[in-house]
Amino acid sequence: MKKVVTFGELMLRLAPNGYLRFVQADSFEATYGGGEANVAVSLSNFGVDVKFITKLPAHEIGQAAVNSLRKYGVDTSGIARGGARVGIYYLEKGASQRPSKVIYDRAFSAISLAEPKDFNWDEIFEDVEWFHFTGITPALSSGVADICLEACKKAKEKGIRVSLDLNYRKNLWSPEKAQEVITKLTPYIDVCIANEEDAEKVFGIKADNTDITGGKINYEGYKQVAEKLVQKYGFKMVATTLRESISASDNNWSAMLYDGKEFYFSKKYSVHIVDRVGGGDSFGAGLIYSQLNNFTPQESIEFAVAASCLKHTIEGDFNLMSVAEVKALASGDASGRVQR
Amino acid sequence: MKKVVTFGELMLRLAPNGYLRFVQADSFEATYGGGEANVAVSLSNFGVDVKFITKLPAHEIGQAAVNSLRKYGVDTSGIARGGARVGIYYLEKGASQRPSKVIYDRAFSAISLAEPKDFNWDEIFEDVEWFHFTGITPALSSGVADICLEACKKAKEKGIRVSLDLNYRKNLWSPEKAQEVITKLTPYIDVCIANEEDAEKVFGIKADNTDITGGKINYEGYKQVAEKLVQKYGFKMVATTLRESISASDNNWSAMLYDGKEFYFSKKYSVHIVDRVGGGDSFGAGLIYSQLNNFTPQESIEFAVAASCLKHTIEGDFNLMSVAEVKALASGDASGRVQR
Amino acid sequence: MKKVVTFGELMLRLAPNGYLRFVQADSFEATYGGGEANVAVSLSNFGVDVKFITKLPAHEIGQAAVNSLRKYGVDTSGIARGGARVGIYYLEKGASQRPSKVIYDRAFSAISLAEPKDFNWDEIFEDVEWFHFTGITPALSSGVADICLEACKKAKEKGIRVSLDLNYRKNLWSPEKAQEVITKLTPYIDVCIANEEDAEKVFGIKADNTDITGGKINYEGYKQVAEKLVQKYGFKMVATTLRESISASDNNWSAMLYDGKEFYFSKKYSVHIVDRVGGGDSFGAGLIYSQLNNFTPQESIEFAVAASCLKHTIEGDFNLMSVAEVKALASGDASGRVQR
Amino acid sequence: MKKVVTFGELMLRLAPNGYLRFVQADSFEATYGGGEANVAVSLSNFGVDVKFITKLPAHEIGQAAVNSLRKYGVDTSGIARGGARVGIYYLEKGASQRPSKVIYDRAFSAISLAEPKDFNWDEIFEDVEWFHFTGITPALSSGVADICLEACKKAKEKGIRVSLDLNYRKNLWSPEKAQEVITKLTPYIDVCIANEEDAEKVFGIKADNTDITGGKINYEGYKQVAEKLVQKYGFKMVATTLRESISASDNNWSAMLYDGKEFYFSKKYSVHIVDRVGGGDSFGAGLIYSQLNNFTPQESIEFAVAASCLKHTIEGDFNLMSVAEVKALASGDASGRVQR
Amino acid sequence: MKKVVTFGELMLRLAPNGYLRFVQADSFEATYGGGEANVAVSLSNFGVDVKFITKLPAHEIGQAAVNSLRKYGVDTSGIARGGARVGIYYLEKGASQRPSKVIYDRAFSAISLAEPKDFNWDEIFEDVEWFHFTGITPALSSGVADICLEACKKAKEKGIRVSLDLNYRKNLWSPEKAQEVITKLTPYIDVCIANEEDAEKVFGIKADNTDITGGKINYEGYKQVAEKLVQKYGFKMVATTLRESISASDNNWSAMLYDGKEFYFSKKYSVHIVDRVGGGDSFGAGLIYSQLNNFTPQESIEFAVAASCLKHTIEGDFNLMSVAEVKALASGDASGRVQR
Amino acid sequence: MKKVVTFGELMLRLAPNGYLRFVQADSFEATYGGGEANVAVSLSNFGVDVKFITKLPAHEIGQAAVNSLRKYGVDTSGIARGGARVGIYYLEKGASQRPSKVIYDRAFSAISLAEPKDFNWDEIFEDVEWFHFTGITPALSSGVADICLEACKKAKEKGIRVSLDLNYRKNLWSPEKAQEVITKLTPYIDVCIANEEDAEKVFGIKADNTDITGGKINYEGYKQVAEKLVQKYGFKMVATTLRESISASDNNWSAMLYDGKEFYFSKKYSVHIVDRVGGGDSFGAGLIYSQLNNFTPQESIEFAVAASCLKHTIEGDFNLMSVAEVKALASGDASGRVQR
């Protein structure tokens, strides 16, 4: 099988132990994560040959970030080394009615200051069949947005499929800026993942009557949005995760896939959450895996949702599940009985 | 805004990690807590200028107790230093059908042996508008009961509002003794907080047909109790938390406020518990805050309940929530979605 | 009261912290456990005089295993010392839809290579009234199976009651081998505990229409199985735990007892799980305790189920509950309210 | 071999992790220790049958204290259960020029309030050949001092050898009070262990020119003291540990034994300290062991010093060394090479 | 006594546990520190009324930094709140021949981007008698350099004594830039602390023949440097710490004070290091304390060196020693014997 | 540069925290290590392209072992997967006079049961210039000894240099067996590393008058041994580490290299030990690195000794030092000053 490439930022994640608040923390669990890196690790755990592209400082904290990917078999040989900062995000885990809280400290990171010459996309895309990134990456800086555009064009030239997880982040840019940048990229995108708020913020396309805080799902609205996205931007596939937030401890989780013809809805899982960060990324990885392996649309959405359901039970950003484990859940065993 | 003063004991809390039983513990998490100190910290986190009064040994364990309050901005300049012991309570956290367990080792603590001369209430009450204590404090010793009476009288003289959270503790005194001591204090109390068992044990006033272990709530009974308390003791306000214990892991939590005219019931929250110790104190702090800020009765009880609902998600005795966070919940967002 | 003896393997249990996966673990919590040792510790915590028999290496890891039992008052004077390995099992705790995972590394352990001369059953059985083991023990090796048979015969001679918890483990032997060995032991067994899969695998006796992964209970089927077991093997009592796995985090837990005449069903508990390993063993201990103390069948099954319900809230294999605590739950207080 | 009995207090020891100061501690390592309990555990690790006598509360913290001894094989069946408090000592570990710091919170502990009827010395002393206690025990309260006297008399009656480790503690009593109480006990003491300050404080017997803080040893002075002790009180044996405190991290450690005829000096060890608490107790245990086994005086003092040298490398109060390990050091291998 | 004000950056310090290298760390100990904050905390622990001035973000990480000072009684009311980043430094603790390693991530911190309007020096300097900062602060940015100059002028106007610890940091600026900025400040400085490399880098004044890596001290050279500093810049007092690095684990530590007339050398301590970061700052705090209390020059240098010797035994940047503890060492007890 | 291949066992290392004894451990630090894997990781950290060959189970513990190497960039693509056990060694860290203790539990590991068909040496040795293994590997089983011989022959055919670190382990085989097996391999060995006991046990070649426990070094004896080894077996180079064990905490460390003509002795380092396991392996890696880079003999031995000196300061088996860090020490800076 050919390779997958993902491109984005890998941050140091600093989280107090358990459910401690930031002001109680005397230590931070130190792991690494970021949308596209999370996808890369999940794919590697699925047995896919995957390369992650970013820029990281040459110092030991940068090296520790690199090592966090090597450990799980991700090819890190294409990572540019240089710059001064590893981006950071602080994560305080919520519980019950108390929401999780993220404080970003990612400005001026090595990747956000990267230049086109840091990456040789011809080399990077050798033997590659899929390229994935999220809307966070072009939001890092206009320089990185340009690099994304260059990479998309090069991918298209080489017949590489491209997926984009919109992932709108209000701390990084305004809806206006997002729309301006992303619409330059849409011509190159085959598969678009758009969760609840993304379509509205980035494309001004809105699901009617959806109240995010209320936690109810407006299925008809999601269908409309997907149809509009395909019509307007020509995506071959639109996928949407459907999260119902009952509390910070319990969520319902399912998803919808639209292939331009039919709508496919997955089973819905009631998840008792261990760590929900990276849930969307694990869905993306599941979807890419299922497409690489020619799953039917229904199989695809079931695999992607089962994978991301399981991510919610794993500490850290990375989804550390095997294909066999995901398939066991997708095919119906959600009893959680001990495996001996 | 003028100051709040709270008066009581600050204990060292020793708790095994996670859900370990006492006999499994090789280490104890060491935090500090106590009814009135918990109220003080919560108010300080709400931005209120608050002073905590107690007596603590001059040695380093006493100092660590003082520091635990300073950290959160509580004024500790009025704490008398002397004596030999910091009171201790051992806490074993329960789960599911296994109840939490508290073993007290607070006898002979510095505060329980304090004398009137340790506290100059004229100085302490300078620029103060609210004085709060719980029924635990006069139960510590008859000396401390006398100090409470002195403080109440002085507060009344100065036009300071006084709140009392009954908090009956059977390990500290008998219902008879409690009734004898507390009824001397009632003339000075404006706001009385009485949870399920308190009214009966301290005042012999009983909610009809309430089965505490069964976890059902007898609303009519609570109304009767509140009316009787107001009639008999002339409190301006009676507040009652309404806990339904489904298990050690899951509780329903709401409250009632009676202002002598109307009964106000809050929303009810289903709480997945992280740490329920201090839940009642955080309710008291919420109520005091809402009174200091002239909230309507319904706003008051919603704020106090939302505050204490959130306390159940925080490790340790102290409620580390801001006004903004409490208001976000009180105004309806209980979805626990990640705040970025 | 006379003594209880249990016989089996005591393993080192290595578990990542919290919900970490094996590949994330930089450390393992190191505790000790094994079916019959778990029963011994639980009985000792109930105040029963109990002796555990096994073989463990003379080195410090073997000693640490011995100490883990002495700590809870189990008599370890009959443990043979020698051999090279303490058997190990690695435990990864599951959550929500992700199942717990056990990797055994117990082959060639000291006990699996034990010889008849390691144990003097005449001495061991002095002043003993109950002998307990599980189906795991004879599965360790044919040598140990022989020792089991010898012990059973000796117990019978001395009028000691014998209980067997079938506990079929597919990693240790085939159904055929199990059936061959176990049927030699059945003549000596008074009380048989058989959970869901055991009866089918070991005796080919099957509850009709029970779907284990689905988590529904087929009460009629279980009755049939129990009746057949009594008819075919002459057990005086058959007990079955009834687990409904909703997820790795939540289970329903109840049990059935058949005394050859009547069927007794316990209350059913909805358990939010802390650690479910050893749940069956704690049921066995509860049952033995209730039999030693001449509880009625209904009291017996309620005590055994309450004991094992509580085990699910305790870290490690051992059930660290007192008789008073179990009785409090069995008699109806499941509210988990703080015990002060 | 017959049994050893030791009698005293077993305290909960609360120590910050590593070298943290008290005010930095968010958790305390929780172990248990106390002079005579430390001796008991060390003897049990040497293979001696040993019983520890004290009084501990019936609650779980009391039980945890009991379990800490059972774990190492000490017979705890003679421990009286009752009372409210487990005595506590807080320990802050020093380093380099910063001294370790101990804060005692042992007043009103169960043992300090024990009564003569709590202990049946006839039963306790059955099959016993050695009785050991320290000067701390009679210092706990005059009630406990009386119990010590009773025990000493009973021991003498039964021909049991008695050893006393003076261990003067200025927080517990004055030199005058100590002298008054101890001199009533001296007629029953066979072996007296007196470290640097004890002889002076308890007996007013002083080594000339010894400057404790300076860390130099005045050998002639120690000889004088030992001679005077034997002359005045008729001890059969006097042992003295000789500590040279270079810093909180490095000590020199040796000892002297006087049998009324000759002085025996041990080798001197330069110890890099892990935990020096219990160093003196481990010396006492080594001395008792060597006497029970009829070592020559030189062998005795070498064994006792090697044992206590090794204690300084072990966390907690207890000396967890085997006879073989002690003998290996005593016979000359101090290289610390890896044992495979 | 009047107040002390210190001004500078407070950073989050992230350090792997124990002696782990950065690439091994799965968690970081999270404390806070920075030259002038360290001085403030040390002075507060000496009982001095001290205010720390900086700028920190309003978010929770900024609040945690504030709390770290409040805990030790530092007045934080003058801290400007705003900006996005809390500066960070990563610390890897060395051992033996392996040096400690610091990676700074402090660019773009809130304080480095602070503006003059963030600080009202008239208010800040009310009732103040001493102002202290280090050469790191003006190195943060030219904006902060300007603020330093403004503060120095204002201090001079008000008759406040000013001390500067040169602390040259090559990562922040070049010797040329340092010299340019610092020489503008020198007219306002009364007390200058200059460790080994500072004088050369900042002022081009060099001790002859001092080889820093060799660890030998050239006393004559230091005298020359101090004389030249006083001659050239008119400082009333110059202090120099004299570190001999034997290894990352062991240092010799002493200091010299020059009052323009005489040279005073302290005792020399052989320190077994727990944490050497902040050693210089604790020296500064000791020196300020001794000056505020009118110690003689010899007393001053002995106190400052004893204080900083003890700092090397404490985890974190802050020196948590009392005046009594420092005086005990300064007056000669370096034996590290247990304090009970 | 071409590749290096190392071949051997990778074990799970289970170590109590800090200086706890085995019987005190409630958890084990879980890392991975083994002679040749340690060499591989060290070389990878030096920037060498290195492949490690072994056999590990397909399960998650086997995977965790693989990941521990991937993290540091070692090529693990040649590792055979299968078998049941990951070998284990338990490590108790000693201190001062208490030696470290290792308990092996490596029998029946996957690699010890490996077969020739598990490894295709033609593929493994593609583009390889150096092959390294230790005497432990052929000691695992006669099957593995045969594989070693096959690998050696194949290496010779391909002109690959071969190094062998004798590392005699008495738990694995007798001197007789070792001699029988190793002498078959010697014809293929270019570089032989033999520490103190190896030469005698494996070859019967003995340094005169060397007392290992005494910790003195007999330089003349070592020279004799090296000469005899070269004469008898034709090694091109013999290297010997010279450890002087002062205690478990402090060692002196140096080495000798003999190239058949001259003897080269390195500087001697006084090491304060963090973790000495893997010290010899890090020396081997340093030597291989220096040979690959054509260092002079004196440069080689200095580099290898500096590398292994630094290893003693790092937790775990692996040497995590860069070439620049090693060179800094080798060229003389042992002061351990903070690197900023």
CATH of the domain at F70: 3.40.1190.20
Q: Which residues of B touch D60 (CB under 8 A)?
A: 21-23, 90, 92, 101, 103
pLDDT at C209 over 80: no
Query: What's the confidence (pLDDT) of residue A333?
Result: 83
- Phi/psi for E29 (5° steps) reads -65, 130
Subunits close to C (at least 3 CB pairs below 8 A): A, B, D, F
- pLDDT of B212 reads 54
Sorting pLDDT into bands at 50, 70 and 90, what band is F214? low
- Does residue E314 lie in a domain region? yes
pLDDT in tens, C161-178: 999 999 999 999 999 999
For position A213, what pLDDT does the model report?
A: 54
Map tokens 């033999």 to a residue: F194
Residue A73 has pLDDT above 70, yes or no: yes
- pLDDT tens, A107-155? 999 999 999 999 999 999 999 999 999 999 999 999 999 999 999 999 9
pLDDT digits over B229-240, tens only? 999 999 999 999
Packed helices E297-311 and E279-292: angle between N→C axes, nearest 10 degrees: 150
Query: Which residue in F has a C-alpha nearest to residue A321's C-alpha?
Result: F60
pLDDT band for D215, please (50, 70, 90 cuts).
low
Over residues B63-87, the pLDDT tens digits come to: 999 999 999 999 999 999 999 999 9
| Pair of tokens at residue B39 | 């109220």
Indicate the pLDDT class of residue F213, thresholds 50, 70 and 90: low
Q: Which of the two residues, C335 and A244, has the higher pLDDT score?
A: A244
Using the Cβ of E29 and the Cβ atoms of chain A, whether some distance falls under 8 Å is answered with yes
> Whole-angstrom Cα distance, residue B283 to residue F275?
52
Label residues F239-274 b or e (16+ Cβ within 10 Å = b): bbbbbbbbbbbbbbbbbbbbbeeebbbbbebbbbbb
Whether the complex's predicted ipTM surpasses the cut of 0.85: yes
pLDDT at residue C69 in the model: 98
pLDDT in tens, E40-52: 999 999 999 999 9
Q: What is the mean pLDDT of chain A?
A: 95
Cα A43 to Cα A281: distance, rounded to the nearest angstrom:
10
Say if A172 falls within a structural domain. yes
Residue A89 · residue A104 · CB < 8 Å: yes
Residue B142, both tokens:
């008859």
> For residue A336, is it within any domain?
no
| Overall domain count for chain E | 1
Q: Could you tell me the pLDDT band of residue C135, with boundaries at 50, 70 and 90?
A: very high
pLDDT reported for residue B213: 54
Average pLDDT over every residue of B7-15: 98
Low pLDDT (below 50) residues in chain E: none
Mean pLDDT of D138-164: 98
- pLDDT attached to residue A48: 98
CB-based contact, F77 to chain A, within 8 Å: no
Q: CA-to-CA distance for F138 and F73, rounded, in angstroms?
A: 26
Asked if the Cβ–Cβ distance from F72 to A73 is below 8 Å, we say no
pLDDT at C334: 79
User: Is D81 part of any domain?
Assistant: yes
Give me the pLDDT at residue F1, please: 64
CB C207 within 8 A of CB C224: yes
* F30 at interface of C, judged by CB pairs closer than 8 A: yes
Distance, CA of C224 to CA of C340 (rounded, Å):
46
* Distance, C-alpha A273 to centroid of its chain: 18
Q: Do E335 and D246 touch (CB under 8 A)?
A: yes
Residue D219 has pLDDT above 80, yes or no: yes
- Render pLDDT for A74-110 as a digit per residue (tens, 0 to 9): 999 999 999 999 999 999 999 999 999 999 999 999 9
Could you tell me which chain B residue has the CA closest to the CA of C250?
A: B96
On whether residue A275 sits in a domain, the answer given is yes
- Whether D231 shows a pLDDT value over 80: the answer reads yes
Nearest chain B Cα distance for residue C53, angstroms: 23
Chain-centroid distance, C-alpha F78:
20
- Choose from D17, D31, D60, D108 for mutation: most chain B CBs within 10 A: D60
For the segment A149-179, what is each residue's pLDDT rounded down to a tens digit? 999 999 999 999 999 999 999 999 999 999 9
Provide the angle, in degrees to the nearest 10, between the axes of the packed helices B323-330 and B297-311. Answer: 110
Residue F291 confidence (pLDDT): 98
pLDDT at C45: 98
D63 CB within 8 Å of a chain C CB: no
> Using CA atoms, how far apart are residues B229 and B223, in angstroms rounded to an integer?
10
| C97 in B contact zone (CB under 8 Å) | no
Residue B67: closest C-alpha in chain D: D23
As a whole number, the mean pLDDT across chain C is 95
Three-class SS of residue F159?
A: coil
Query: Do the beta carbons of residue E37 and residue E8 sit within 8 Å?
Result: yes
Residue E71's nearest CA partner among E90, E55, E52, E89 is E52
Asked if the model's pLDDT at residue D34 lies above 60, the reply is yes
Cβ contacts of E318 within 8 Å, gap of 6 or more: E31, E33, E38, E41, E42, E45, E72, E278
- Whether residue C337 is contained in a domain is answered as no
Q: Are C158 and C128 in contact (CB under 8 A)?
A: yes
E340 is a domain residue: no
**Interchain CB contact of E20 with D (< 8 Å):** no
Q: What angle do CA E303, E304, E306 make, to 5 degrees?
A: 65
pLDDT of residue B219: 87
Report percent pLDDT > 90 for chain C. 90
Question: Which structural domain, as residue segments, surrounds residue D83?
Answer: 3-330
Average of per-residue pLDDT across D118-129 = 97
- Across the range A27-42, mean pLDDT stands at 98
Distance from CA of A320 to the nearest CA of E (A): 17
**Cα separations in angstroms, E11 against D104, E21, E69, F305:** 36, 20, 12, 37
- pLDDT value at D264 more than 80: yes
Q: Is the pLDDT of residue D216 over 90?
A: no
Cβ contacts (< 8 Å) between F315 and chain C: which residues? none
What pLDDT sits at residue E218?
82
What mean pLDDT comes out for the span A55-60?
Answer: 98
Query: How confident is the model over C317-338, as a mean pLDDT?
Result: 94
Q: Is residue C339 part of a domain?
A: no
